[in-house]
Structures are given as structure tokens and as C-alpha cells.
């Protein structure tokens, strides 16, 4: 459509898409300090008829690892997500390893989702170690071998960029992401560390400035075209 109404309609559509993208950029910035958070990309596509459309993608690049003094803290060094379960049986996946010991002794997330199939840590154990393959082993004082309490599983997806973000820094699979596949014989779990978000403040601020300029240019063009449209109506009259 090449008339003035069509130009206004296309500009309106483009401004709305830019506004949506700005919202995702702002959300990324607000989660800069969220452990294990993965940035969301809003990729814009130009359709053959001149309208902008968008697609959401999850940026799965590794965030930097931060050493902590908390033995419950866990980071995933490499690809993969840790399955967690709610009390209602819901399942989700996370890279936020800021775990804790729940009131019933089980290893849980910060919002009390159970990690893996349930790993109960005795309150009187001398120490516990989380190995690279996810095994959780408790030791009594002076004990060498220890007792295996369970395993923190790790899963991967065929297309992790298509995972859907949900509340409290968790992910859920979609048709595009594929079903989770258990990783065996790995060495990707690291105790006493947390993964930082993979947000780049510089890139995010640059995107916000670029989007602001683009929306301003589009609105100015809409006003110019609207003025032209009104003048053409007056000429006919």
C-alpha cells in the first residue's frame, strides 16, 4: 500500500515494535544483578509488505562466575540447566544456583522450589561437597569416603534460545526449544560459585539510545505525512 494512509499505518506498526523492543532492553537492564539471568533479544524482521515483526530469543552465552563463601551456592560452567520442582509438581529450569536448605532439610531455590529429585542434607553433618558431576556427598568429622545424598541433574535443549522465561528467573521449554535431555558424565557443576547475568550494560544503553532515536524519527515522519494528508484533503475541497 503506497498511499498516505498506508505510510501512516506502517509507521505506527514500526513504532509499536520499537516500543516493545525497548521494553525488553529495559527488562534486561533491571536484571543486571540477577544471578544466572540470560538476556532476551528482540530480533526485528522486515516483512515483504514493509511491516516490522519481531521474534524473541534467549541469549545463552555464559555469564562470568563469582566465588562465594556459601557452600549451598552452585554455578553451571558450560551449557545446561538445573531442573527444579514446585510443591505443586510444576517443573522449570534455572541457572540461578543461589540455593539454600529448606525447612525440611532439602536443597531448594531461593523461592523454595526443590532442586532435582530432592536432596536432603542432614542438619548435623560436618560438611557436604557438591562435585562436578552434581553428586552431593556429606561427611562426618574425620570421615574420608562420605555418604552420597543425591545428585543435582543437568539438562540441555536442542534449541535453548527458544526457551520461555517465567517468574523468579526460571525457564520453561517450548515446541521450538525441544524437550530436555539429561547430561551424563559431565563436570560442569561448581560449588561455592554463582554465575552472573550475561547482560552488557554498554550494549543495552546503546540499544536504548538507538531505539529512542528511531522512534523519534518515526513519529516525526508520521506528523509530516499526516500534515500532507490533511493538505491533500483541503485541496480536494
pLDDT of residue 2: 57
CB-CB contact of 185 with 154 (8 Å): no
Which element (helix H / strand E) includes 138? strand 135-139
Report the C-alpha gap between 93 and 163 in whole angstroms.
10
Q: Does an H or E element contain 13, and which?
A: helix 4-30
CB 167 within 8 A of CB 90: no
Question: Residue 148 gets which letter from DSSP?
Answer: E
Residue 129 bridge partners (DSSP): 137
pLDDT of residue 217: 76
At 24 the pLDDT is 87
- What's the pLDDT score for residue 1? 46
Question: What is the secondary structure of 68-97 as a DSSP string?
Answer: -S-TTBEEE-SS-BEEEE-TTS-EEEE---
Which of 36, 40, 8 is CA-nearest to residue 24?
40
Residues of the chain by 3-state class (helix, strand, coil), percent to 5: 30, 30, 40
The SS3 of residue 233 is helix
Dist. CA 104–CA 69, nearest whole Å = 23
What single-letter DSSP state applies at residue 191? E
Q: How many CA atoms lie within 13 A of 72 on its CB side?
A: 15
Contact 160, 80 (CB under 8 A): no
**Cell numbers 524473541: residue:** 56
Does residue 180 contact residue 81 with C-beta atoms inside 8 Å? yes
Residue 52: predicted pLDDT: 66
Within a 13 Å sphere around the CA of 125, how many CA atoms are in the beta-carbon half?
19
Instruction: Using 50 as the pLDDT threshold, list the residues of the chain that sit under it.
Output: 1
pLDDT digits (tens, 9 = 90+) for 121-157: 988 888 999 999 999 999 988 778 889 999 999 999 9
Q: What's the pLDDT at 211?
A: 80
Residue that has been written with the C-alpha cell 557452600 in this structure: 71
Query: What CA–CA distance (Å, rounded) separates 80 from 124?
Result: 32
Q: Are 112 and 100 in contact (CB under 8 A)?
A: no
pLDDT at position 118 is 93
Amino acid at each position: 500500500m503506497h498511499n498516505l494512509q498506508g505510510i501512516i499505518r506502517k509507521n505506527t506498526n514500526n513504532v509499536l515494535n520499537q516500543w516493545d523492543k525497548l521494553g525488553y532492553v529495559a527488562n534486561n537492564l533491571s536484571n543486571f544483578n540477577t544471578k544466572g539471568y540470560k538476556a532476551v533479544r528482540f530480533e526485528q524482521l522486515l516483512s515483504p509488505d514493509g511491516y516490522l515483526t519481531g521474534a524473541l530469543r534467549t541469549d545463552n552465552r555464559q555469564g562470568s562466575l563469582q566465588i562465594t563463601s556459601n557452600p549451598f551456592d552452585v554455578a553451571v560452567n558450560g551449557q545446561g540447566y538445573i531442573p527444579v520442582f514446585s510443591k505443586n509438581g510444576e517443573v522449570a529450569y534455572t541457572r540461578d544456583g543461589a540455593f539454600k536448605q529448606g525447612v525440611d532439610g532439602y536443597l531448594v531455590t531461593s523461592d523454595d522450589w526443590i532442586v532435582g529429585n530432592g536432596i536432603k542434607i542432614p542438619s548435623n553433618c560436618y560438611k557436604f561437597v557438591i562435585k562436578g558431576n552434581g553428586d552431593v556427598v556429606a561427611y562426618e568429622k574425620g570421615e574420608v569416603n562420605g555418604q552420597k545424598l543425591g545428585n543435582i541433574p543437568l539438562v540441555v535443549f536442542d534449541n535453548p534460545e527458544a526457551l520461555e522465561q517465567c517468574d523468579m528467573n526460571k525457564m520453561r521449554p517450548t515446541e521450538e526449544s525441544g524437550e530436555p535431555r539429561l547430561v551424563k558424565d559431565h563436570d560442569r557443576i561448581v560449588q561455592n560459585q554463582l554465575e552472573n547475568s550475561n547482560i552488557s550494560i554498554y550494549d543495552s544503553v546503546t540499544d536504548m539510545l538507538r531505539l529512542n532515536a528511531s522512534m523519534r524519527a518515526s513519529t516525526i515522519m508520521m506528523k509530516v505525512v499526516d500534515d500532507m494528508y490533511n493538505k491533500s484533503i483541503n485541496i480536494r475541497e
